[in-house]
Structure 1
């Protein structure tokens, strides 16, 4: 049975906000990465609850309770707005937001307060609604960055829009319809409907933010299963899955190329400078190679010092250009470890897929054969092995290392 007592409804709101605050504090204590966002959400619920309590205090000649309640409410919605970018580990504009809150508080001190002064409530509710609209925008952007469908992204941003709408409806309703009670503790159909909507939306917003937090954690776990923890390149399993998916397009006429590379004299580097230097050299290699790749290309670590680049819609000629650019960039990299300089280089083997390849392992076998040739002919070279049923390719770019032709079939 629905309650028609506004005091009971406000008590229910206070209970929901109190429970949400405790839950977010517990989550913040257990999750270091999302602690700032969870603390913001706990603070938002606490400030909203405190604003409701303060609003019930008797007004003095200085109008202190009402003004404090309004400032607390603005702070609550500002923290709600900040929680979404913090959850996505994005920088926040604390100074700008604090300045805006200070200006709003100063403006409120100059406006007459009370339940029937619409200008005061339009400033408070309008600013709070604006914070909610920003939170809705940030939520949609966060979910789109996580490759969620646009329609679903908008659905999860909807609760913030509804909260913002509720904030704007109340002062506008009291302005346009004088019979609507402006105070929350007044009985009336509008008040009860508004409080029920506020209760449902408070639950929904906290649930939406809990979903965003869960989604972030799930994606982080998924990333750990697909990424090499040292270099952040794809791991062997992820590369195998990507190549299998790309190989399905070969029979539809789409070619892909593979660049297999192995760092030269890596064991000597480890023995001379230590394994920590070797780890740093591998991370440096990935940082150097990534700018050579397009958005559709993938780079993975197959194990040890061996890496693989998957180049969709690319033949041997294109792969040769990419591999040679990688080779040159790596060769000119100034790698230093504890004051000591060490030359970095790698050997490259390239090939492209062919319709006769039954699976990606045949493509990798040819790339591995080309890599073996590069190692045997002096290292720091690019070598290619073409599929039997592929037409001859145009001449490859020449090496800048002075060690001969960088690409040979």
Structure 2
């Protein structure tokens, strides 16, 4: 055990870390405009945690009514806000009514329960929200390709926080006699407080790393995307195709779909290039619901696009292509009041054992596309 002066010094250190972290997150939200909604939530979470610990340090020197419930409530609120911030960062399902409703329910329960049960519930509720935040980071990747290696770094601090809070809550639940020690800051030995300091630092660092990773991925996405349609540009698509062909050597087949908008030159000549651009964007929107998360749609040039379908056979590619063809033909397109029917022709191919490189598969899909064009357009063909 440590004496009160040392305990209060460590508590002050945690408060200062939370306050400084809050200022940094506020600067990220207001000055840098980096994930502002998420950054505001994490800033508020740090401030709530700092206020909770500050009230805890007044235990024994101020009435419990001024310290116990407000401290517990602020502690829970900090992890509710943290969970909401993580949801915003990962673009998960985040709802303020649900967030505030959860906090209200916990607050009413804390006000109704006696001291021992109140503190135990506050710790367990905080643990639940911390673990939920860790689960959000674990299950919702932002994390793809090379970024996947960083997944553990992102969610491990929140998992550790949740486990520590749960253990302390269970300790109070099974040994209620320790409550007075907690309120008197006697149970907070140096090892626990040092762990808390490290956890708070890791927690904020991992979330800052998450925001940085989001920025890097966004820049990478902009670098790889076609400006007009949002599909992959030719270089990025060809890189994905080369990786897929390499994986095919490990018995992971893939298929390709080539698509080309029918009578695109006529559309440009009659309605103008701005109408042509709008038609290309509409085509990408129309076919996108047919794609899985692992599929890749790329623009090879002009009105010609290609779709990479990992772990898909030629028959599967035919089904996907025909669904795309149908969806596009059903979409109404008009420019300045003039309607124009949209359709596309499709060529499909799958990787074969004798294919030395991805270009061979692409050439067969392109030949299928040429065949579809020569047979009347708005059909799917393979060679």
In the superposition, the TM-score normalised over structure 1's length comes to: 0.78
Structure 1 partner of 2:200: 202
* Structure 2 CA distance for partners of 1:318 and 1:143, relative to 1, 3 Å: closer
Q: Give the superposition deviation at 1:344.
A: 0.7
Q: Give the superposition deviation at 1:307.
A: 0.8
* Structure 2 CA distance for partners of 1:254 and 1:260, relative to 1, 3 Å: same
How many residues align structurally?
378
2: distance between equivalents of 1:125 and 1:145? Answer: 30
* Structure 2 CA distance for partners of 1:341 and 1:173, relative to 1, 3 Å: same
2: distance between equivalents of 1:89 and 1:373? Answer: 42
Q: Secondary structure at the match of 1:334?
A: coil
Aligned with 1:241 (options 235, 239, 242): 239
Deviations 1:93-149 (A, max 9, x none): 32233223223333333445xxxx422211222222222121222221134864689
Structure 2 partner of 1:393: none
1:347-358 equivalence runs, <5 A: 347-351=345-349, 357-358=355-356
Structure 1 partner of 2:35: 34
Aligned with 1:59 (options 52, 58, 62): 62
Deviates more, 1:221-230 or 1:37-46: 221-230
1:210-359 equivalence runs, <5 A: 210-248=208-246, 257-292=255-290, 297-311=295-309, 322-351=320-349, 357-359=355-357
Q: Give the superposition deviation at 1:335.
A: 1.8
- The structure whose residues are more often helix, as a share, is 2
* Structure 2 CA distance for partners of 1:103 and 1:331, relative to 1, 3 Å: closer
Stretches of structure 1 lacking an aligned partner (at least 5 in a row): 387-409
Deviates more, 1:11-20 or 1:50-59: 50-59
Structure 2 partner of 1:74: 76
Cα RMSD for the two superposed structures: 3.6
Deviations 1:249-281 (A, max 9, x none): 667787755433221222332344344432221
1: distance between equivalents of 2:330 and 2:220? Answer: 35
* Structure 2 CA distance for partners of 1:159 and 1:354, relative to 1, 3 Å: closer
Q: Give the superposition deviation at 1:172.
A: 5.1
Q: Secondary structure at the match of 1:196?
A: helix
2: distance between equivalents of 1:255 and 1:168? Answer: 46
2: distance between equivalents of 1:365 and 1:148? Answer: 29
Stretches of structure 2 lacking an aligned partner (at least 5 in a row): none
